[in-house]
Structure 1
Amino acid sequence: MFSLTALTALSLLTSARAQQVGTLQAESHPSLSYQTCTSSGCTTQSGEIVLDSNWRWTHQTNGSTNCYDGNEWDTAVCTDGETCASSCAIDGADYEGTYGISASGTGVTLTFVTEGQYSTNIGSRVYLMDSEDSYAVFQLKNQEFTFDVDMSNLPCGLNGAVYFVEMEADGGMGAYSGNKAGAKYGTGYCDAQCPHDIKFINGEANVEDWTPSPNDTNAGSGRYGTCCNEMDIWEANSQATAVTPHTCTVAGQTRCEGTDCGDGDERYDGVCDKDGCDFNSWRMGDETFIGEGMTIDTTQTITVVTQFITSDGTASGDLSEIRRIYVQNGQTIQNSVTAIEGMDEFDSITDEFCAQQKAAFSDETSFADRGGMSRMGESLENGMVLVMSLWDDHAANMLWLDSDYPLDRDASQPGVSRGPCSTDSGVPSDVESDSPGASVTYSNLRFGDLDTTY
């Protein structure tokens, strides 16, 4: 972005103690309609999408000088989190020109690399809104969520993700007086990884102990993370897919620091289950179920149905099962069945499936330790926000989704092989240069009673 001189900027700092909204680019949310369904039929709802605040231009309130440039804060302005939030603004977005996001009617396409006027953008994350200032919040117990996806253009190393997180409907604007941007500008993100790369958390800039990433020119890591329950409906590329609930001991968006964030060697000491209890058909023993030309053919559009079944068949009952169904070429196809030594045959996620999987794979029981399906059900009942994204992985090259992972274990051990991609694949610099035009399209979002959306 273009900038004014630092001298001019420093002489005009605002005294307001709040995260500001910029006025140099108008914010206009692309429209995206969705449907709510019952046994009587489906009703179309008018919706919008909004770009996450982390992608937005962050500049000084009095002009266009960057507060955040590349992967570093301007420490002359951002001396601490509160001062930075009062001195800096996040601005509106040119969705298609800068970020490669295009929405029309019932569908949205996210393009991987976009060459804008001032910068090169990599990936994106958007949220579904039910009004200009509020995320759409869904209570999914005893309900199902269905969408169509075309991910034929996503190679190894990319992740086209659709998921729910327990964010605040207003993006935290009501809870934190320092947040003047709110959901309209995509604030308030959280997930079970308790990410430290979020620039503004709880209305303050995450500048304390900020360390630029050694291998990502756009990202860094601050003292604080932002945690919440997460339901990964769909993490996928053309070679691999997974559906994964992640539980946390905290309710709603929560800022963490230290051990609570579960970083590094303290991974299993934090408030959230970072591993999750995943159902990846390849990892669960069926290497012919989903992929190019397979039973579920990733070269064609796929209808993905996820059901949240309760013990008593009501929205107030305990969550007992997360079931996956596919529809393709007019055929309804049930999920694959596990074929792992030491495990029963499962085709859905239950507490028993998770217990047997963790034992068979010698994995930590962090999902069960943080409440398992019951805890996930509580979050679904509280209400969650829909997220759609496209990203590459500077931490592990997406090997945990589509290749052998972790690399220090033999690939012949149960649970290590997760997809057909090479362990040399997924390096972000390679993916960004080799597949800049990669994209994913999500369409025909439907929420409703069981067996009414497909």
Structure 2
Amino acid sequence: MYAKFAALAALVASATAQQVCTLTTENHPSMSWSTCTGNGNCTKKTTSITIDSNWRWTHQLSSATNCYSGNEWDTTVCTDGKTCAAQCCVDGADYTSTYGIKASGDSLSLQFVTKGQYSTNVGSRTYLMESDTKYQGFTLLGNEFTFDVDVSNLGCGLNGALYFVSMDLDGGLAKYSGNKAGAKYGTGYCDAQCPRDIKFINGEANVEGWNPSSNDQNAGAGRYGTCCSEMDIWEANNAATAWTPHPCTIIDQSRCEGDACGGTYSSDRYSGVCDPDGCDFNAYRHGDTGFYGPGGVVDTTKKMTVVTQFLKNSAGDLSEIKRFYVQNNKIIAHTNSKIPGVKGNSINEEFCKARITAFDDVDDFNAKGGLVQMGKALAKPMVLVMSIWDDHAVNMLWLDSTYPVGSTQPGAARGPCPSTSGVPSEIEASVPNSNVVFSNIRFGPINSTVAGLNNAPAPGDGGSNPAPISSTTRAASSATSVRTTSTSAAPQPTPTNSSGAEHWAQCGGNGWTGATTCKSPYTCTVINPWYSQCL
């Protein structure tokens, strides 16, 4: 990923497979989390995190010469996948100065852009460890996962994500003889997009058919992808959030090839073993534009607690995924969908089928087994991923703006960000110090991680919520995030009269042409360079 020059005092494994070098000593940052037994009675565990091998310095065994520079392999060394894995190694990480990763107590801060001694790093992907050589596994079915998060410094176009994937707990060390690095060095990643930008898959370099990205100086895509089930607990910035199960017909990590991978890099998005779209629940997309955001019912200018429950029926199958928030000592039930024909505030079979019809989405979710198949993944240990990233494909518009751009069909309005926002080259330059902070992770049986959760508001009744915020449902689209695109500008909210924009409406930002003042007593407040809001 980057060039580095250092002394060659490295301890090197025998050159038979994907190797480990120690020009930089690998010291996992410590991070604590808690297991709970009931009503907030929790016991703290101190473990650590590691960074994904895709971010690590990849160089030759015998020298500090890169095997991978910028977004290209050195094909004089990496003539094929096995040869490359035998002659190249991944190295240790300087977590803070190179990657902007800071762990303290039960908190993990991930910085967007970090300028180090030898490189400029963009984004990161980290995993929670059980030991120095094994990822922590979480069996989510029938249990509850809770964490605190601060997205106040994470604006349009960015994604501070926390999610689970069905990776091998040892990073593929035992399964693939070509992998000598393992979980300690962050190997074995997979997800439901079957990503083909992973440098090493199944212990081999993904060098064959590698095409450098045209708009990402650090990335490319190879012949192979790596697939597994994915449960997105949290994909979010301070403008929008979504939570999404992604089932796969093959639950655990498997390698795919070319267009058979489906997902982002294939001609047929749905040709793979996984559902790349999933059954997502985004409050803004479902018509409640005031539920989440700066000054919203869930106020993103402040830290919040996010609670996700995975309920099973009498047959032991996953039947429902529920979401609560806790903020200002109040338990907040997730909002109900306000889309005609879609009911409820949780993800269940009825919800997933109704939203497919309402949004005219491709029903790959049920084609890949739906909630039952997702539950089979959740019944096995999954690996916790925490990351920060920008989107070189569609500028994160699928999360926080109108996508497809310009569409007015149900489901297209996903967040308040302008359709011109999120361009990686722009936000990497203008908001490099953006960050997300995850903390206070708790895991246990249903209603165990937060005191009083067993008395939480029933689904949809709002319980102890603040008074609902008045908001206008924006028109949305019938297309999923990658089915269609256009270049027309997205519709923007407009003030109701000349005296200024309404409470919660947009009032400024790069490219904004609407009202720039607010009705009294509200003030136009800058949220980020692309979005100001009447607060």
TM range (shorter): over 0.9
Which amino acid is 2:369 matched to?
G
Once the two structures are superposed, the pairs formed by residues 397-436 of structure 1 within 5 Å of their partners are: 397-407=395-405, 410-436=406-432
Secondary structure in structure 1 of the residue aligned to 2:31: coil
TM-score, normalised to structure 2, is 0.81
Secondary structure in structure 2 of the residue aligned to 1:325: strand
Shift of 1:259: 3.5
Match of 2:491 in 1: none
Over residues 208-251 of structure 1, what are the superposed CA-to-partner deviations in whole Å (9 max), with x where a residue is unaligned? 00010000000011000000000000000000000000011112
Q: Which of 429, 449, 452 is the equivalent residue of 2:448?
A: 452
Once the two structures are superposed, the pairs formed by residues 301-450 of structure 1 within 5 Å of their partners are: 301-312=303-314, 317-343=316-342, 345-407=343-405, 410-450=406-446
Secondary structure in structure 2 of the residue aligned to 1:109: strand
Shift of 1:14: 9.2
Shift of 1:382: 1.6
Shift of 1:15: 7.3
Secondary structure in structure 2 of the residue aligned to 1:433: helix
Match of 1:8 in 2: none
Which amino acid is 1:394 matched to?
H
- Distance verdict in 2 for CA 1:14–1:153, change over 3 Å: closer
How far apart in 1 are the matches of 2:38 and 2:240? 33
Once the two structures are superposed, the pairs formed by residues 81-160 of structure 1 within 5 Å of their partners are: 81-160=81-160
Match of 1:7 in 2: none
Shift of 1:265: 3.0
Over residues 39-89 of structure 1, what are the superposed CA-to-partner deviations in whole Å (9 max), with x where a residue is unaligned? 272111121100000000000001100000000000000000000000000
How far apart in 1 are the matches of 2:15 and 2:75? 18
Once the two structures are superposed, the pairs formed by residues 106-255 of structure 1 within 5 Å of their partners are: 106-255=106-255
How far apart in 2 are the matches of 1:174 and 1:117? 35
Secondary structure in structure 1 of the residue aligned to 2:103: strand
Aligned 8 A contact 1:52 1:125 in 2 = yes
Match of 1:28 in 2: 27
Match of 1:10 in 2: none
Which amino acid is 2:88 matched to?
C
Shift of 1:3: 5.4
How far apart in 2 are the matches of 1:164 and 1:14? 31
How far apart in 2 are the matches of 1:15 and 1:91? 15
How far apart in 2 are the matches of 1:30 and 1:14? 24
How far apart in 1 are the matches of 2:382 and 2:130? 13
Match of 2:506 in 1: none
How far apart in 1 are the matches of 2:4 and 2:306? 43
Shift of 1:357: 0.1
Structure with greater proportional helix content: 1
Aligned 8 A contact 1:351 1:368 in 2 = no
Match of 2:43 in 1: 43
Match of 1:298 in 2: 300
Shift of 1:16: 2.7
Which amino acid is 1:148 matched to?
D
Shift of 1:342: 2.4
How far apart in 2 are the matches of 1:386 and 1:368? 24
How far apart in 2 are the matches of 1:240 and 1:451? 26
How far apart in 1 are the matches of 2:381 and 2:364? 23
Secondary structure in structure 1 of the residue aligned to 2:308: strand
Shift of 1:377: 0.4
Aligned 8 A contact 2:15 2:61 in 1 = no
Which amino acid is 1:145 matched to?
F
How far apart in 2 are the matches of 1:447 and 1:15? 40
Structure 1: runs of 5+ lacking an equivalent: 5-12
Shift of 1:351: 1.2
Over residues 171-221 of structure 1, what are the superposed CA-to-partner deviations in whole Å (9 max), with x where a residue is unaligned? 000000100000000000000001111000000000000010000000011
Structure 2: runs of 5+ lacking an equivalent: 7-11, 451-535
Secondary structure in structure 1 of the residue aligned to 2:232: strand
Aligned 8 A contact 2:260 2:266 in 1 = no
State how many pairs are aligned: 441
Q: CA RMSD in A?
A: 1.4
Secondary structure in structure 1 of the residue aligned to 2:449: coil
Which amino acid is 1:406 matched to?
P
Aligned 8 A contact 2:181 2:187 in 1 = yes
Displaced runs of 4 or more, over 2 A:
1-4, 13-17
Secondary structure in structure 1 of the residue aligned to 2:379: helix
